[in-house]
Structures are given as C-alpha cells and as structure tokens.
Structure 1
Amino acid sequence: MIETKQGLLESLLEQAITNARDTNKKQFISMTKEIDSVEPLYFFESAKDIKMDRTFWTSTSDQFYLVGVGSAFKIRANTDRFQVTEEQWRKILSEAIIHNPFNAPGTGMVAMGGMSFDPKKEKTNLWCNFDDSEFIIPQFILTKNKSNQFLTINVQVTKTDHPVQLAKALQQSVERLLKSSGKLPNGATIKARKEIEPEQWKNVVQLATDEIKQSKAEKIVLAREMRLKLSKEAEITAILSNFITSQTNSYIFAFEHGDDCFVGATPERLVKLENRQLLSTCLAGTAPRGKTSSEDERISKDLLHDSKNREEHDFVVEMIKKAIKDYCTDIQIPNEPVIYPLKNLQHLFTPVRATLQNGYSIFDIIKQLHPTPALGGVPRETSLTFIREHEQLDRGWYGAPIGWLDGNQNGEFAVAIRSGLIQGDEASLFAGCGVVKDSDPEAEYEETTIKFLPMLSVLGG
C-alpha cells in the first residue's frame, strides 16, 4: 500500500468543510504526494473497477505521463470558450486549498481536456458526449515525470461532509487504483471497415482545388471518416499500450466521456509552456516510410524537395510566427525543416521557440494558433467556411487542441490527429490532407489512406 498521508488529508478536509460552512459554498481542495513507482497503464486499467471516466496523456519521448480518474470539477464553455475556460480555471485556483510542495510540471491541480475543431459546425450525434470545450479536473491524478511519480487527490467538499469518513473513502479508492493485477487486457480486432462516401469526398477535393485556382483561398484542409466494426468491445488500455510501443515520437491520449472514448497518437504539438518558455512545432508535409533504409532515405529526400509539401509546410511556419509575435519575445525559428520519422509516416518538421510575455497565458496562444494551416487552411476564415459548408464530416474533437495545464502555468497541447472515437465495439477513424492548387483528388485520397494506418494498426487491422 502507498501511504497518502491520511492525517494531512483529514486536516485539509476539515479546513475545507469549515470554509464551506462559513461561506455556504462548496470548497475545493487539492493534495499532492510523491509516491513509489506505479505503471501508468495499470493505474488507468484499475480505474475501470471504480467506474469513473478516465483520461490519459503521455509524451513518451519526455517520459511524462498524466492519468486522470473521475471528475472533481468540469469546466465547460460553449461561447467565448478560450476566455471562459481561462476565467473559470483562474477562479478555481484562487479559491482552492492547494497542498503541493513540488515544482514539477503536471503536479498539483491539473485540468485535462480539449475542444471541438469548429464550434460553428452543426453538431451530429457522433460527438454527443463531447462538448465544444470541456476540461476535467480529475479526482485522482497520477503524474509521472521522468523518474519521479506523484499522486494528487482533488475533491469538492460541502458543509455537511465529515472529514474522517471522506478521507477514508478517498483512501479506499486510492488503494483500489494502486492495486494492480499486473495484467493488461487483450485488444479487439477489426471485423469490418467502411469508408464514408469516398467518391463524394474526392469531389469535394476537386471543388476545393477549383476555389483555390480562382484565388478564393491558398489552401483548404479536408478530412474524412472510416467506420469500423470490432470483434468485441474495445479495450482502451490495450489500444494505449499498442500506441506506446509503436508510436514513440507521439503524444498518446485518451479522453473517456461516458460510453465513448476519443483516443489517438498525434505527432503534432500545438504548444508547450514551461517556466514561460514556449515551444511550438510545425508539422506539415507527409510521406510514407520506406520498406528498406535506402528507400526510406530516398522518400525523405523527395519529401524535403517536394514543392507541394514544402509550400504546405511554409504556410504553417509563417502562420505560427505571425500568431505568437505579439505575445512572445526572443522568437527562434530554423531556416529549413528536417524530417520527423514515425513508424508509418514521416513529416517535415520545424520547431518554434520563444519566451511568453508576462500577462499572457497558454490559452492566448492556443486561440491564436487554432486551427493551424495544417488542419484548417489559408486564409483561416475562408478555409473554415468552405470546410463548414462542404465537408461531410462532423470533426468534433478531431484536429482540435487537446492537452493539460497545471496551477503553475505549465501546460502542453497537441493537435488531435491520428485519432478515433471508440464507441463500444465500433469506432470512427479520421484523417485529413491539405489541398492546394495542384492537388490531385486521387493522390489526396491515398494520403489520407496512409494516415489511417496508425489507428488501424493498434486496433488489430
């Protein structure tokens, strides 16, 4: 058993209950304790036993994990979502009783969540369990930061709660989460797959190229859907385990909302903030991996010199530079991209580093960056209008900002690509591509087919 300082927890709860009585309002408390090593996937799997929604985030190359269980509070915003979310987050932090003696990013009170790609797009039943903006402060959070691990308990108390009883109940939940069988479930396999109206999608690609040739836009990103039938109800832990093994340069995530779970492994960072140091990355321009090292090298060289992909990449570089210039100082951008290899794909990659000025937050940057030209297009509003009117797909959280932030102004958000929405024994997968004036509908279709591979592979197909 891992000790969580129940005496301290009881003391904090007693203080919170007293505050709740004095103010006649709920009181939030957050307590963080350093713990012995726990396997994050086992912690995630154990959460099924206490029947709470689960949230998972890892940057495996950084040896960083966040696993959230349950919900102590949900921040929802359907209008002015960046501003409203930040205002609610700041209010919670200012009023909470927080015990966190550690400076490690991802410790203390943490919110995990995401947003829809386009709140103006008509919503379908596919995404009925996901709001346009929803951030969860989990009741229990496991944080792994390289060799150190932490457990955080978040809870809202009322004036009628009893500190000893509540502390005991929280401790019992912690013990169940930390108790592992040492086994992970077996995953499902794919029984059938259906591409949603591929010929109509190609026609929309052609329509987009016609718009671009008429100088109505420079680039329009179009996405499509593949629907799967699985051999049994999907095991999210098995999917995450497969991703961790196969997608070592990606952000691996899962956001469980009721019976649905949005899961994926995206290589595309939107923004990372740590000690006011900002890192964003341009990841646009895609090619498959070669079957041999010589073929792989040839494909890499072709990608670096391909005019269509370089044009697509340059759009993103210039957009990010323009988006952050009024919020940051000391902006550093390399002159040329490099190749960013993944298991199934390789991309053109350019990092952007800067220092965030005082008075601004990670939400200010997200608002400026989303959607990047890699997911929306150029100009932004023109391309979004085209997508809204012509794309058959309700993207939901696909292609949108997902991530986390803590109470010490650290956080990281990625762009939710290479992803799927799991619904029991069915799943919807999503993939997109950037359409420019020389785009060929059949070639763009093949590019999206390649981009389905990461999700297909972890689902056993």
Structure 2
Amino acid sequence: MHQKWYNATEVEVGSLNSKYHFYMETIEVSRLSALAFFAAGEQSYSGKRFFWQNREKTLTLVGLGHAYTIENNATDHRFDAVEQEWKRLTKNIVKEEQDLQPILFGGFTFDPHNNQEGEWSDFPQSYFTVASFQLVIRHDTAYVSIHYITDEENSTKAFDRMRKERDHLIHAAQVKEVKTYSKPKMTSYKEPFKEEYLQSLEKVTSLIKANEAEKVVIARSLALQFEDSVSSPQILSHVVHEQPESYLFGLEHKDMLFFGASPERLVKVHNGQAYSSCVAGSIRRGKTADEDEQLGQALLNDEKNLGEHHYVVEMISQTFEKNCCSVKVPKRPKLLKIRDIQHLYTPVEGTLACDATILQLVKHLHPTPALGGVPRQEALELIRKYESMNRGLYAAPIGWLDADGNGEFAVAIRSAALTRDKAYLYAGGGIVGDSTPQAEYEETRVKFRPMLRALGGQLSE
C-alpha cells in the first residue's frame, strides 16, 4: 500500500471561535469495488453515505460517515454560505502532493421558497458533507482517505481507531463477495395529484399563450409501495448496472436515499476550465436501429424541441460569458442517446475569469430553462402556484467540489427518493404554447422508466 500523510492544520469554521484541526491520511488500495465499499458501511454509517460516478466513468466517489457537515436554510444566500464555510474549512490545509484532497459532496434543493409538506419536509435547502472515510477511484486507481475534523488538542487515539476502522472497511469490501441484489417487490403505486397535474398543464399553457411566460417546466411524482424495506446498496447496484451512460448518484440524509442516473451535467470545473451541457428536447428510443435513427432525425428537426433547446443554450451561454474569459458553443445540437430516451445536446466550454468559482456558476445557472423555464422568475412563480409537490433535490444541482475549486455538478433528473418501504419518482416536461396535456403526461411516463426499472416496478398501460 502506498501511503501519504497530510499535515494537520488549524482553521476557524463557521461562526465559532474555536480552532479545528483537520487531519487527513490517504492510502492507495488495489482491487476495490465502489459498491462493495458503500455496502461495507451499511451497519455503521447508514444515513450518512454518498455515491457518485461521472458519465465518462473516470471518477467514482464514495463517502462513509460525516467528518463535517455544511447545511443551511439560507434561501437566496445558500450558495454563498456553503462556499464561504468550505473556504474557511480548507484554506490552510497543507498538502504534500496535489493528487488527492478532501471532497465536499451534496446538493441544493430546487426551490428554497417551496414549503409544501411531503417527503422533503425535513431536508435542508443546502446539504453537503465531508466523509469520514472517502473512496476516490480515478482512472482505475483507488485511494481511501480518513478525514478527522476536531477541536480536541490530542486526537492520536481517536485517529488510530479510525485507521483500524478504515482497514476493516477495506477488508470487508475486498474479501466479501460483491453481493447480487434482487429487485424490490412493488405492491402498489399511485400517481399523486394526477388530475391536478393535467389541469395545471392546461392552465399554464393558456398563460403562456397570454404571454405570462415563454416556457414553464411542470413536474409530477409517482409513489411506489414495496413489500419490505429497501436498502441503499440494493437500489444503487441496479442503477449502476442499468444506466452506465449517465451520471450516477446517491445521497443519504437520515432515513432517505436520493438517487438517480442523470444524462445532464450542470457544470464542471477542472484547472480553470468550465464545461456545461445543454440538454433539452427529448424523444423515445426506437425498437430497431432504423426506427431509432428516424426518431432521432425527427427530434433534430422538430421546431418545438429545437425551441426548448435554444432557450437552454442561450441562457447557459450568457452565464458563461459573464463568468468566463472565452466561450465556445457549437452552432447546432447533437443527439445524446441513453437507454430509454434521446435528447438534443449542445456542450458549452469556457475559461473561468479569475474571480469566478464553480459554486458561483451553479448559483447563476440554476435552474436552467430545461428545469425551470423562461423567463426564470416568472416560470418559478408559476411552478410554485401550479405544481402540486415539493421537488426537493429533484431537478436541482448535486455534485462535488474540492479545495482547489475543481468539481462537477449534475442536474438531478431521472431520480427518486427512497424512504424505507416507499419511493417517490419524479419527472417533468417543458410546457410551451402548443403543448398538450396528454403528450406531456406520456413524456413523463418515459422519463420515469430508468428509476422505475431499478426499483422493480412497471406501469400498467
């Protein structure tokens, strides 16, 4: 095993005057399954874990336990509050090498001004954690880090206990066979507020025709009931194997697991370069290659979908131009094909200005027209008025950042919330002047499929 030691530092955190010591130790490990490491924390760290894998499969993250938590209900200041606390926590960390450092993982809820009761009532508007035990797999090389943040003057014994716990977790992940999980047994499902959803589509369409907005994304949920409680490793194992072409994520908070397989990057920053993806406009996959090609070409030439896509490209490009020195945007979209659906896709790239950060980009990009609408504030007001649910983390930014300002956030679509023996799936669609309720309803059924399949369910036709 290759081992590195990162020096302890003293930093002031939050509003407290006490000094915190940030201890970190990293070892390189061979043969380690991310899912097995996640499952190894089931007994001791359930409710305090996260999982992330980027779309290219060049980076996988697993976190077990909470060394430090940053959460707030600071509404419109929540992005800045998280950034300031993270900078205070990490500003003095002394690193022997630059190849690995602590990672902050979490997400921001879609709309901090939504107070509707439901499965998200107990969830903070911003929720991020530094893991006690962090696994990073980068280009097939695995590292496990211990993070220990304390105000105790002498923590040698505590850190020694964490070393033993780390070795136990690694051993369990390496030696025990990777478990194969059966699909949960769904006993029933319901479509909450289905009639209200269909009525809201008619109302919002009429308001768009009356020039109250240009586009509004209206979402709905699907509630599943299972025979028994469902575990986080059980579900993530199916999502990982069934949706390899997507961003894969799972974030636990108390007895909830929020998970998904998103096709859409919100923003990535690497060494001062920023990247985003404009994903809007969709159509189903074909049953044959020829049908798939025909459907894809139809999407590339569909005025409604091209119009929706243009809104997103325009907004993301403008945000990049305000935060970057130079910006590259292709003139026409391509097709992004994933298992159940194909989308219009345009990548955007820029060189960050010296004062811009990944969380500032997240703050200004969220919500994109693909998830909120156009104009943004008018669309959000209509969503609050006509959408019969609290989105929570659905359609919101989820991802990670490090102390050097690198990181990546995906848009948490194709997602679901699991609480013991219940799950809530989420899907939405962009409403414009010529939208029809039945077509939008059918589109959400297609978007439910990835998480529904992972959960072992199916909808009656």
**TM-score scaled by length of structure 2:** 0.93
State the shift of 1:190 in Å.
Answer: 1.8
For residues 150-191 of structure 1, the C-alpha deviation after alignment (integer angstroms, 9 at most, x for no partner) is: 11211112335441x212210121122112311324341322
Match of residue 388 from structure 2: 392
State the shift of 1:24 in Å.
Answer: 5.4
Q: What residue identity is the alignment partner of 1:415? A: V
Q: What residue identity is the alignment partner of 1:172? A: K
4+ runs deviating over 6 angstroms? none
Aligned length: 445
Equivalent of 2:311 in 308, 315, 320: 315
| Contact 1:29/1:98, CA 8 A, preserved across alignment | no
Q: List aligned pairs for 1:342-381, cutoff 5 A.
A: 342-381=338-377
| Contact 2:266/2:411, CA 8 A, preserved across alignment | yes
For residues 138-158 of structure 1, the C-alpha deviation after alignment (integer angstroms, 9 at most, x for no partner) is: 111100111222112111123
| Contact 1:60/1:244, CA 8 A, preserved across alignment | no
Match of residue 69 from structure 1: 64
Please state if 1:258 is matched with 2:250: no
Match of residue 270 from structure 2: 274
Change (3 A) 1:261 1:129: farther
Stretch moving more, 409-418 or 72-81? 72-81
Name the CA distance, whole Å, in 2 between partners of 1:345 and 1:98: 46
| Contact 2:27/2:145, CA 8 A, preserved across alignment | yes
State the shift of 1:4 in Å.
Answer: 5.3
Name the CA distance, whole Å, in 1 between partners of 2:402 and 2:270: 10
Gaps of 5+ in 2: 12-16
Report the 3-state secondary structure (helix = DSSP H, G, I; strand = E; otherwise coil) of the residue aligned with 1:199: helix
Name the CA distance, whole Å, in 2 between partners of 1:414 and 1:182: 31
State the shift of 1:426 in Å.
Answer: 0.5
Match of residue 169 from structure 2: 177
Name the CA distance, whole Å, in 2 between partners of 1:258 and 1:100: 35
Please state if 1:286 is matched with 2:279: no
Name the CA distance, whole Å, in 2 between partners of 1:387 and 1:24: 43
Q: What residue identity is the alignment partner of 1:67? A: V
State the shift of 1:452 in Å.
Answer: 0.3
Match of residue 415 from structure 2: 419
Change (3 A) 1:275 1:426: same
Match of residue 334 from structure 1: 330
Name the CA distance, whole Å, in 2 between partners of 1:329 and 1:436: 34
Report the 3-state secondary structure (helix = DSSP H, G, I; strand = E; otherwise coil) of the residue aligned with 2:28: strand
Please state if 1:117 is matched with 2:139: no
Please state if 1:154 is matched with 2:147: yes
Stretch moving more, 398-407 or 194-203? 194-203
Name the CA distance, whole Å, in 2 between partners of 1:314 and 1:447: 20
Stretch moving more, 34-43 or 231-240? 231-240
Gaps of 5+ in 1: 18-22
Report the 3-state secondary structure (helix = DSSP H, G, I; strand = E; otherwise coil) of the residue aligned with 1:381: helix
Match of residue 204 from structure 1: 200
Q: What residue identity is the alignment partner of 1:42? A: A
Match of residue 141 from structure 1: 134
Match of residue 404 from structure 2: 408
State the shift of 1:241 in Å.
Answer: 2.0
For residues 414-446 of structure 1, the C-alpha deviation after alignment (integer angstroms, 9 at most, x for no partner) is: 111000110001001000000000000110000
Name the CA distance, whole Å, in 2 between partners of 1:263 and 1:381: 28
Q: What residue identity is the alignment partner of 1:48? A: E
Q: What residue identity is the alignment partner of 1:167? A: F
Match of residue 20 from structure 1: none
Name the CA distance, whole Å, in 2 between partners of 1:404 and 1:4: 24
Name the CA distance, whole Å, in 2 between partners of 1:160 and 1:217: 58
| Contact 2:91/2:403, CA 8 A, preserved across alignment | no
Name the CA distance, whole Å, in 2 between partners of 1:101 and 1:88: 23
Q: What residue identity is the alignment partner of 1:169? A: R
Report the 3-state secondary structure (helix = DSSP H, G, I; strand = E; otherwise coil) of the residue aligned with 1:182: coil
Equivalent of 2:123 in 103, 127, 130: 130
Stretch moving more, 239-248 or 339-348? 239-248
For residues 227-269 of structure 1, the C-alpha deviation after alignment (integer angstroms, 9 at most, x for no partner) is: 0011321132232222222212211000011111101111110
| Contact 1:112/1:405, CA 8 A, preserved across alignment | yes
Match of residue 92 from structure 1: 89
| Contact 2:116/2:389, CA 8 A, preserved across alignment | no
Change (3 A) 1:317 1:117: same
State the Cα RMSD in Å. Answer: 1.8
Name the CA distance, whole Å, in 2 between partners of 1:320 and 1:250: 21
Q: List aligned pairs for 1:189-268, cutoff 5 A.
A: 189-268=185-264
Report the 3-state secondary structure (helix = DSSP H, G, I; strand = E; otherwise coil) of the residue aligned with 2:405: coil
Stretch moving more, 280-289 or 171-180? 171-180
| Contact 1:129/1:257, CA 8 A, preserved across alignment | no
| Contact 2:247/2:263, CA 8 A, preserved across alignment | yes
